[in-house]
């Protein structure tokens, strides 16, 4: 089922269904009516399709669930990518020329080898950014990048030439991530050109006293209005509250550093609680 339909009505679900059913990949529509979750297996779908398609969702204020929120790590550091992968929650990687330079990766061959090394670690999409600014250069680079591995997603900047490149790649079935998104208009244009992902930079907007999360929400609304399949990849994530806020508004993906993922698991009451449990155990078992 298309992602746009998933956004509108929910679909094959691996959550809120007993484990035995998720293993069997039982599909259906899921969502929430008046605060109560529901799940309707596919065989009842045909009866409901008409109503869902005719705006039943809006009428009854049904909130759809996304199938998952993807976590990407925003780095070119192999050790950090490996660590995030071992945590078991990693869905992909985003890189950019600054992150590659930070790791000291220079020269075309080294850059290509490094992307391959990243792809060998993760199960998921790996965004590799072009550095050309003209259409022909972007196309040439993108086509070389996707030869590295099936996981590669060509990252294209939001420029006039970039929009043309998005259209070209989407026509070829090559996945793209439109980067440097700072407005809803840019996101709309990228979706119309067939981008697989758009990357609005939440942190960099916050840096200039503009609400980055509000932009994510605005883009999601626009995409839902028209059923665009482009996924909203919240980028430039700086801290745990960004992640939580992205999850609250329903961003499809967030990309941030390992430190942010690790910070999600921390709470002082967890630490002191565990310390006390272990101390009490030691008293009775030493
Ligand atoms: C997006 O893909 C970019 O690589 C990244 O998220 C930018 O983040 P920054 O603003 O922390 O550099």
- Segment 66-77, tens digit of pLDDT: 678 999 999 999
Tell whether 165 and 47 lie within a shared domain: no
Is 175 in the same domain as 89?
yes
CATH number of 174's domain: 3.20.20.70
If asked whether residues 41 and 140 sit together in one domain, one would say: no
For residue 188, what pLDDT is reported?
Answer: 98
Residues of the chain where predicted confidence (pLDDT) is lower than 70: 1-33, 39-66
Task: Note whether 83 and 219 are same-domain residues.
Answer: yes
**Residue 40's pLDDT is what?**
64
37: left (phi over 0), alpha (psi -120 to 50) or beta: beta
The CA 181 to ligand 1 mean position distance, Å, reads: 11
Q: How far is the CA of 165 from the centre of ligand 1 (A)?
A: 21
Q: Which atom of ligand 1 is nearest to 99's Cα?
A: 4
For residues 59 and 179, state if they share a domain.
Answer: no
Q: 218 and 127 in one domain? A: yes
Specify the residue with its C-alpha closest to ligand 1, atom 5: 236
- 59: domain range? 3-64
Whether the pTM exceeds 0.95: the reply is no
Q: Is the CB of 236 under 6 A from ligand 1?
A: yes
What is the domain count for the chain? 2
Whether 107 and 210 map to the same domain: the answer is yes
Question: What are 142-160's pLDDT values in tens digits?
Answer: 999 999 999 999 999 999 9
Residue 286 belongs to a domain: no
Q: Is 94 in the pocket of ligand 1 (CB under 6 A)?
A: yes
Closest CA to ligand 1's atom 12:
236
Question: Is 199 within the bounds of a domain?
Answer: yes
Query: Any idea which residues carry the catalytic annotation?
Result: 155
The predicted structure's pLDDT at residue 233: 98
| Ligand 1 site-directed mutation target among 72, 103, 203, 210, most atoms within 8 Å of CB | 203
Taking the centre of ligand 1 as the mean of its atom positions, its distance from the CA of residue 226, in whole angstroms, is 27
Report how far ligand 1's centroid is from the alpha carbon of 132 (Å): 18
Same domain, 176 and 78: yes
Does ligand 1 have an atom closer than 6 angstroms to the CB of 72? no
């Amino acid at each position: 089922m298309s992602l746009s339909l998933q956004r509108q009505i929910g679909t094959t679900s691996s959550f809120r269904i007993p484990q035995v059913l998720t293993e069997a990949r039982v599909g259906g529509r899921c969502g929430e009516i008046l605060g109560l979750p529901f799940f309707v297996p596919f065989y009842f779908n045909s009866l409901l399709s008409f109503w869902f398609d005719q705006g039943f969702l809006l009428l009854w204020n049904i909130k759809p669930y996304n199938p998952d929120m993807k976590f990407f790590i925003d780095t070119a550091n192999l050790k950090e990518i490996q660590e995030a992968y071992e945590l078991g929650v990693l869905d992909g990687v985003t890189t950019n020329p600054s992150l590659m330079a930070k790791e000291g990766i220079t020269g075309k061959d080294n850059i290509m080898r490094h992307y391959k090394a990243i792809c060998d670690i993760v199960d998921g999409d790996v965004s590799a950014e072009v550095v050309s600014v003209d259409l022909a250069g972007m196309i040439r680079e993108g086509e070389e990048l996707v030869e590295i591995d099936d996981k590669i997603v060509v990252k294209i900047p939001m420029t006039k030439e970039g929009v043309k490149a998005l259209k070209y790649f989407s026509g070829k079935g090559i996945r793209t991530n439109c980067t440097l998104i700072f407005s809803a208009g840019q996101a709309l244009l990228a979706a119309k050109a067939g981008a697989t992902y758009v990357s609005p930079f939440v942190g960099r907007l916050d840096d200039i006293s503009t609400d980055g999360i509000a932009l994510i929400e605005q883009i999601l609304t626009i995409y839902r209005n028209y059923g665009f399949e482009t996924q909203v990849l919240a980028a430039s994530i700086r801290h745990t509250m960004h992640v939580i806020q992205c999850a609250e508004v329903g961003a499809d993906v967030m990309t941030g550093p390992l430190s942010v993922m690790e910070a999600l698991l921390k709470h002082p009451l967890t630490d002191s609680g565990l310390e006390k449990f272990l101390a009490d155990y030691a008293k009775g078992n030493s």
